[in-house]
Amino acid sequence: MATRPSSSPARLSAAALLALAGLSCGVPARILESNVARLFASPLPVPDKVRAPYRPEARLAALWVGHATVLVQIDDRWILTDPVFTSTVGLMVKRLVEPGLAPEDLPPIDAVLISHMHLDHLSLGSLSLIEPKVRAPLVPRGGLVYVPNHSFASFEVPTWTTWRQGDLEITAVPVRHSGYRYGLDRDWMTESFTGYVVEYHGITVYFGGDTAYDRDDFVKTRARFPAIDLALLPIAPVGPREFMESKHVDPAEAVQAFLDLGARRMMAIHFDTFINSTDTFGEAPRELRRVMAARGLGPDRVILPRHGEQRILITRGEPGGAAAASAPAPRGE
């Protein structure tokens, strides 16, 4: 595990233009055209946003901000995944729906989990925006090169390595994706993608970031972490499937990954926030509901959140996780 200052992103600005919509997954022309058509559109508003996310009755709660951004409360600790609060990513990909939580309403964040280097997951503008709230971003192997200097220290966490902060433990776990950022760097950024498992006070949360379906990866993670309380799993982009299959699960594969992990619950993420596929708005959630019905899984097992929705997964005194009856309140600024 490494911590070190990284190079300024300024010299890479020209290369950013080669990311085609900034998603760095090699975007087909028709997806790029859909984004160009939305350049002057406004995102859909999120009504009744949560302003004070701390839930005193919760041991585990999760708030879906949008895309792969989730605010997770485990007792008095806060985890934020792949924070993206900007109105665009990669210069020309605009949000379909505004962030489900205002950045000024974030609590102090103990750890920011960056799953990989693509512009819709490592958002440098968003990190700058929330810098006063952040204590420690974690990135996959090789990722520090793209994280500029901030007031916080950033940490590189290779696969199966554990970062610790007191009783909080975060382990990088294998997924199948790609690690480059600008396209030109695909030949050397070959390992900069990861999933994470967060453990604190007997509660365990899995964050898959972006991943294709790889049963071996999920089974190996389950072997090391056999009691996952919540799995945060992407369900899109779906199409064109022949293009997306090697890097992204679809809803059926996400559900299978959830079952492979042996998790108690799944929360669907990474859908209906940016145009990064040929999917229509609402297509991935509809397909997930169909898969849930076919597999006999109800909303108590698979959670399909609205943007800005916060769910309490474990309450104080409820079985699940460690039976800590009196967890501490969150720390202040």
82-136 pLDDT, tens digit per residue, is 999 999 987 778 999 999 999 999 999 999 999 998 889 999 999 999 999 999 9
What's the average model confidence in pLDDT over 174-191?
83
C-alpha neighbours within 13 Å on the C-beta side of residue 312: 12
- Count of C-beta atoms within a 10 Å radius of residue 10: 8
Task: Please report which confidence band the pLDDT of residue 38 belongs to, taking 50, 70 and 90 as the band edges.
Answer: confident
Q: Residue 217 maps to which CATH number?
A: 3.60.15.10
Residue 177 forms part of a structural domain: yes
Q: With contact defined as beta carbons under 8 Å apart, do 260 and 224 qualify?
A: no
Range of the domain at 203: 19-313
Region of poorest pLDDT, from 93-97, 102-106, 284-288, 300-304? 93-97
Asked whether residue 107 is assigned to any structural domain, the reply reads yes
| Mean pLDDT, rounded, of the chain | 87
Work out the number of other CB atoms within 10 angstroms of the CB of residue 303: 18
| Cβ neighbours for 209, distance < 8 A, ≥ 6 positions apart | 68, 81, 82, 113, 115, 116, 121, 175, 177, 193, 194, 195, 196, 234
Residue 21, pLDDT above cutoff 80: no
Question: What is the H or E stretch that residue 292 is in?
Answer: helix 283-295
Predicted pLDDT of residue 86 = 95
pLDDT of residue 102: 97
Q: Within a domain: residue 323?
A: no
Secondary structure of 31-58 in the HEC alphabet? HHHHHHHCCCCCCECCCCCCCCCCCCCE
Q: Which residue has the higher pLDDT, 5 or 79?
A: 79
Specify burial of residue 4 (Cβ count, 10 A radius: 0-12, 13-18, 19+). exposed
Q: Please check whether residue 324 lies inside any domain of the structure.
A: no
What is the mean predicted confidence (pLDDT) over 306-326? 77
Q: Six-digit token pair at 121? A: 């997951």
Q: What is the pLDDT of residue 23?
A: 43
Please report whether residue 262 resides in a domain: yes
pLDDT of residue 181: 84
pLDDT at 5: 42
Predicted structure pTM score:
0.88
Q: Is the residue at 287 inside a domain?
A: yes
For residue 69, what are its two tokens?
């951004």
State how many domains the chain has: 1
Does residue 213 carry a pLDDT above 80?
yes
Residue 68: closest CA among 79, 59, 58, 54: 79
Q: Answer whether residue 285 is part of any domain.
A: yes
Which is it for the CA torsion 286, 284, 208, 85, positive or negative? negative
Task: Give pLDDT, residue 26.
Answer: 46
For the ranges 23-27, 131-135, 167-171, 287-291, which has the lowest average pLDDT?
A: 23-27
Flag whether 273 is in a domain.
yes
Q: What is the mean pLDDT of residues 198-215?
A: 97
